[in-house]
Chains A and B, each alone.
Chain A
């Protein structure tokens, strides 16, 4: 599928439902670009509601999103560097159940080597050198999905030293949650940056969900906050609380109680199915999810998550004054009229 994301004429603003049905295909490689911070749960839930199948899940970290996608039956492969396990080995998780049944293939990397694969993919290179430590571990030795191509050792052409390299990784689709974006897809993100930028830019398609869609003018005032440029983005979805129960700088903190609840409620196969029905497949959209949360626990547990204000200072980006004011410029060089005459004199083409 060819997507014309370069043109600003295309309307990219849509619901997550529309975005997922348009841009996520069965069998694709999916990356959740956020690293522990602002996990795109609104989009993850939508992918489960769409019952996508045979996805390869790649990421530097999975907190609960991996288990959710597994419970929805969406994944056939996982390539990851951190798959959070709460409560130690006493408790069975969805991952344990699928690994025992051999329903899914699993490959381990470290955060840095994983990020390096995204970096190479994003930069348009075919490989990237990584630090030596990995060679001394079983991450290097034991290989599953990537096999021979998990790591290779080359000789540095300049120093002659042995160098471990990883191949570039270009996922088909990145799902991302950020604080704000404009209708063109220019996405602004702040707080702990993790691997968002490189894993998103490495991908072929990017879906952005955000707390607020803001005016293009607001984006232009702080371009240093833009982490993904609009021309790379396929869809923009406004989803307040779109990363709940993970935190989002400037908006809300981790809902640790809800996460504990998820942990306690999903230890068995049956209980896990119930949870998915209650919080994911049984909910129409993010608004329905929030309404359900409020109905269940009240408004208060949600309000307490909102962050204290700690404002960034405004800086003056500045732009030029009009330079060619005759009364000023002629003192230095020429008047504007003289400049025009010169261009006529030296011009090579006729009107």
Chain B
């Protein structure tokens, strides 16, 4: 049976959630990972979104973090300000799962702009911006990052959300709790060294080589062996996990291929010609 790398990414991410944790989920893959964890190994996890739905039990894909129709009710309805103050600022978030665009060596994130912030050329692009990520990344005990289409960058164009800042104890000195503990990409899982806080390759997906991953990283990537650990191999997913993930159709994003094929089928005779530049 064939499966997509993104499906394995989702599964691996869900395993990072521990039963009973208070877990923030961001847009996209993290939502499916949260729902999957709750259905499998973490039924008592409290999944929440910044839009103020606390303890959701999603049984359909959330279109975005404010989508109220993907869960039949939830325990606690508050607004965004309450989420960030009474839950995040008080330090109650155990783990935040966030999708990212660009990441550096120390897990700092850029989701604001590619190129110059002041858009001086056609090659520069505004991305979606902070959303809730800045405070979630800065104030959760653990942060799990998912990278579907993102990139490793030596020097970020813009720092949107704090990771381990300049490494070492710089984050602690800035007064921020926790920090990123894992990055799950389509090729493997990365973690951060306890002392230097530099990212290293912890485990690789099936049919992937270390060399392949090194090519995606602009600096000399460290691997588990460099820190006296063993490089692990991620196993193939179980069929039931895959079936669960597929029920959520997580890749029916608006800009994704699947989304465009679908709209061409459901709303036919409309799509051609729309993309003339």
Interface bits A264-305 vs B (CB < 8 Å: 1, else 0)? 111110110000000000000000000000001100010000
- Per-residue B-contact encoding for A150-193, CB less than 8 Å = 1, 0 else: 00000000000000000000000000000000000000001111
Expressed in whole angstroms, the minimum distance between the Cβ of B224 and any Cβ of chain A is 28
Which residue of the partner chain, among B52, B160, B255, contacts A86 with CB atoms under 8 Å?
A: B255
Chain A's interface size range is 35 or more
| Stretch in contact with the other chain, from B17-25, B33-41, B67-75, B204-212 | B67-75
| A86 B254 Cβ-Cβ under 8 A | yes
Alpha-carbon distance A254/B53, docked complex (angstroms): 17
Closest-CB distance, B135 to chain A (whole angstroms): 5
In the complex with contacts A36-B64, A198-B79, A264-B275 CB distance below 8 A: yes
Instruction: Tell me, yes or no, whether B162 is within 8 Å of chain A by CB.
Output: yes
**Residues in B neighbouring A310, C-beta threshold 8 A:** 72-73
In the complex, are the beta carbons of A111 and B138 less than 8 A apart? no
The answer to whether the Cβ of A347 comes within 8 Å of any Cβ in the partner chain is: no
Q: In the complex, what residues of B have CB within 8 A of residue A80's CB? A: 129
B122 to chain A, nearest CB (A): 7
Instruction: Count residues on chain B whose CB falls below 8 Å from chain A CBs.
Output: 69
Q: Is the CB of A268 within 8 A of B134?
A: no
Of chain B, the residue at the smallest CB distance from A191 is B68
CB <8 Å contact, A136 and B162: yes
Query: A133 and B138 in contact (CB under 8 A), knowing A89-B127, A190-B77?
Result: yes
Q: Are A297 and B267 in contact (CB under 8 A)?
A: yes
Once the chains bind, are A194 and B135 in contact (CB under 8 Å)? no
Asked if B221 lies at the interface with its beta carbon under 8 angstroms from chain A, I say no
B155 at interface by CB-CB < 8 Å: no
Binds B, one of A12-20, A91-99, A332-340: A91-99
The reply to whether A87 and B161 contact each other, CB–CB distance below 8 Å, is no
Q: Which one of B79, B259, B273 contacts A256 once the chains associate, using CB atoms below 8 Å?
A: B259
Query: Are B132 and A133 closer than 8 Å at their CB atoms?
Result: no
Q: Are B52 and A192 in contact (CB-based, < 8 A)?
A: yes
Given A37-B68, A100-B122, A115-B84, answer yes or no on A81-B162 (Cβ-Cβ < 8 Å).
no
Q: Which of A134, A137, A253, A267: most chain B CB closer than 10 A?
A: A137
Q: 10 more A-B contacts (CB under 8 A) besides A134-B135, A142-B117?
A: A36-B51, A36-B64, A116-B81, A137-B159, A195-B81, A254-B67, A256-B63, A256-B252, A257-B266, A301-B267
Q: Which residues of B come within 8 Å of A, CB atoms?
A: 49-53, 63-69, 72-73, 77-81, 84, 88-89, 112, 114, 117, 119, 122, 125-135, 137-139, 149, 158-162, 165, 174-176, 252-256, 259-260, 262-263, 266-267, 270-271, 273-277
